[in-house]
Amino acid sequence: MTESQKEKIQLPKVGIFACFSGASNTGSLAGMAMFEVIRRLGSEAVGVCSLPAELNKVSRQSAIVKKIDKIVVIDGCHQECARQLLNEVEIKPAIYFNIEADLGIQKLGPFTSLSFTEEQVNAAANVLITKIESLLKGGDNEG
């Protein structure tokens, strides 16, 4: 990527960090819901932020994240890995969403990566889209 291409990067209005470890059904579901939100709302509105890059202090990623006005964090389960890890680098979400707690979808444990349904992906995406649209309109959301 050339310097002029880097300068022309269009930042989304909302950046999303998701658990997406893929080790369990709810972790996979968090990532799939994130992609569905981006598919429906478009990359001008929402974009993926890299959790590993942010935690590894990749300077370009950190600089980009600092320029994004609103951050959403999606966790798959009660462990809240994404939120806790981002808390350590002082990133506070405008919206926090937990698949297990907010939707009541049970974490099935290790090696259940593909044990989720399209209906669950859509249910999570629908709730996230409602929250994000409210946030973009200036509504209150929990962080």
* Residue 16, SS3 per DSSP: strand
Spatial CB neighbours of 83, under 8 Å, sequence gap ≥ 6: 73, 75, 93, 96
* Residue 48, SS3 per DSSP: strand
pTM of the model: 0.91
Enumerate domains of the chain plus CATH numbers: 10-136 (3.40.50)
pLDDT at 119 over 90: yes
Query: What tens digit of pLDDT does each residue of 19-53 get?
Result: 998 899 999 999 999 999 999 999 999 999 999 99
Cα(52)–Cα(47) distance, integer angstroms: 15
pLDDT at 1 over 70: no
CB of 40 within 8 A of CB of 131? no
Cα(70)–Cα(83) distance, integer angstroms: 15
Q: What does the pLDDT average to over 104-115?
A: 96
Sign for the pseudo-dihedral over CA of 111, 78, 58, 142: positive
